Every structure is written in C-alpha cells, then in structure tokens.
Structure 1
C-alpha cells in the first residue's frame, strides 16, 4: 500500500462515510488534534515510565484512535459515530480515583515540570484541553453532530493526565513544581 494517494492535494480529505472536507474544517482539526495528543502520549511512553503507567497510556492511545474514528464518522448511525460511550469516561474516573489515592492532597497550583515524563504528560494534558475545545466548537455547529459521551471523555481525559503528571513525579521521587505567586 502506498503512503501517498494524491487525493488530498486539492486541500480536501475524506472521512468515514460519504463526502470530503477541507483540511481546515473544524472536524478535521478536531481529530487532527486528537492524533497529536496520541503522538505526545507515545513520546511519554518512550521515556520508559513504569509498567503500570505504560499499560494505561497504551490503553489511552488505543482509545484515542476510537475518539478519532468517532470524529471522522460524522453521520449518526455510522459504524464509529457512537463508539465512545459513557463507560469510557467512567473508566477514566476510576483511574483518576486510583491514582489520586497515591498522592498527597493538592494545596497549591502546580506548574508543568518536574521529571521529563511528567512535563510531557502535562503537555499531553494541554493538547487534550485543546482537542476538547475544538470538539466543543464542532458540537456547537448544528451539523457537527458530536455525541455527548465523546465530550465527557475528553474532559475526563485531561483530568486524568493532570493526575498522571503528578503520579509520575511522585513515583520518581521528584517534587511537583509549585507556582510561586509574584
């Protein structure tokens, strides 16, 4: 299979189902940002985090493919349109609770940083928030047709990534970087 197809040379791309979209269409931007988030998680995994975190990050990467597929399937009733369910967000909440139990209570704002892997997870968190903003914008479009569970999932995902950034530092014995109010 060839990598280049030349079908996007006119500035349009295909999605799951009929039709082509401009490459700067909000739908394409949204799933492009989800793809970027997936790449950042791959960068974190390349830092050789512990097995527990690596397994979770691998699962999140696979789920992000599902999120991207749901965004690329604009028609209700399409095979991936409703692929992200409330159960996906609930599983993220379970992970948040599990990892928060390891951490001291948060008493200050923290800055992205500490270990390299934690800083990269915080980068992933910010990309996740951008993806969420883009999907919210798409959902506000009467023709955007974004299922609610997908929005909830992205919101919980950024919360989980915040907690994971702290956990990575905690497990590495590296203190979180706290905000020093000027």
Structure 2
C-alpha cells in the first residue's frame, strides 16, 4: 500500500529522481522519460474518459487500462535484474497483453474495415483517444530505445503491452466515432 503524506521532499531539487530500486538518476534519464511518457498517456486517457459517459463499457475498459499504465510505470521505474525473483517487482504480464487483444477484437468486430487512413478527429472522445494513442506510441519508442541501451533492459511483456495499447486506442477512437461511420478520412493532396 502506498502512503503519501508529504508531497514535496526536496530530494529532486538537484535534478535527480529516485528509481524503484532507490538508485538516483538524472531526471532526463531515458528510463525516467519512458515512464514519464507512460504517465502522460495515462493523463490523456483520463481526459478521454470524460467524454465516455455514453459508453460505460468502454469507460470501464479504459479505467482498467489506466490502472495497467500505473503497473507499467512501476515496471519501468524498477530496472529488472538478471537474478530477480518472480514477484519481487511489479511487472507487466502476458495476460495483460492478451486482455488488450481481446478488447481490440471485441471493439473491432463492430467496425467496418478501413479503406483509407483516418485523421485523428471526430467526436471529442475520439480526438482524445487519438491523442492518448500518439503519446502511447512515443512511450513505446522510448521503451524500445531504452531496451537497446547498454546495461539497460525492459521486459518484453511491457513493450508488447504498450504496442497493443496504441492499437486498442486506435480501435476505441473509431468505435466512439459512431462505430467508425463518423471517422474523418484522409484525402491525399486535398489541399493542393
């Protein structure tokens, strides 16, 4: 259980922050950037949820995703070690990825196949879901870069999760755009 009585500690005033292991790193460290971007995606998803009152099942799905994003942040802020005992640190697990795939399939079953790229627009809910999707893609890029950095690693399920999440957010945006019928289609060269 987390207990936060005092919000400011002054320990970051020197430009460092603490990882889940207690190690101090620069606030611009790639690991910190990755879990910071996950937090940003979570905040964008919170705004999207403000527009999902007419979609209670989708809102509940996104609430679960927000909780998962905190799990992902915890995973990222605690660098894995070679001798880490299972369950010693909170990690994204394959079952969370599978759940996203099930959600994608369920939502996508109600959508017509795409015949064009779509613009990140439409209803307010769709626009905010698209914003969360693009932030999620940035988190994925940072996580992959971190995983390819010497002496760093990121668990494969964490990378799979963020990749699948951006797919879910894309499908969810289409879903709230009148099940895809209100998608705003890209018209190549329309402004020439």
Q: Under a length normalisation based on structure 2, what TM-score does the superposition of the two structures give?
A: 0.90
Counterpart position of 1:32: 36
Whether 1:43 aligns to 2:44 is no
Counterpart position of 2:27: 23
In 1, Cα distance between the equivalents of 2:44 and 2:184? Answer: 21
Tell me the number of residue pairs that the alignment of Structure 1 and Structure 2 aligns: 180
Counterpart position of 2:89: 80
Report the secondary structure of 1:3's partner residue: coil
**Is the CA contact (8 Å cut-off) linking 1:115 and 1:174 kept in structure 2?**
no
Q: Under a length normalisation based on structure 1, what TM-score does the superposition of the two structures give?
A: 0.95
Using the TM superposition, name which of 15-24 and 119-128 deviates more.
Answer: 15-24
**Is the CA contact (8 Å cut-off) linking 1:17 and 1:75 kept in structure 2?**
no
In 1, Cα distance between the equivalents of 2:129 and 2:108? Answer: 16
Aligned structure 1 segments of 4 or more residues deviating by more than 6 angstroms: none
1:80 Cα shift?
2.6
1:174 Cα shift?
6.2
> Map of 1:1-182 to 2, 5 A cutoff?
1-49=5-53, 50-76=55-81, 77=84, 79-80=88-89, 83-171=91-179, 175-182=182-189
1:113 Cα shift?
0.4
**Deviation digits for residues 125-160 of structure 1 (CA, Å, limit 9, x no counterpart):** 000000000000100012221111111111111011
Please list every run of 5 or more consecutive structure 1 residues that lacks an aligned counterpart in the other structure.
Answer: none
**Deviation digits for residues 76-108 of structure 1 (CA, Å, limit 9, x no counterpart):** 227335x11111111111111110001011111
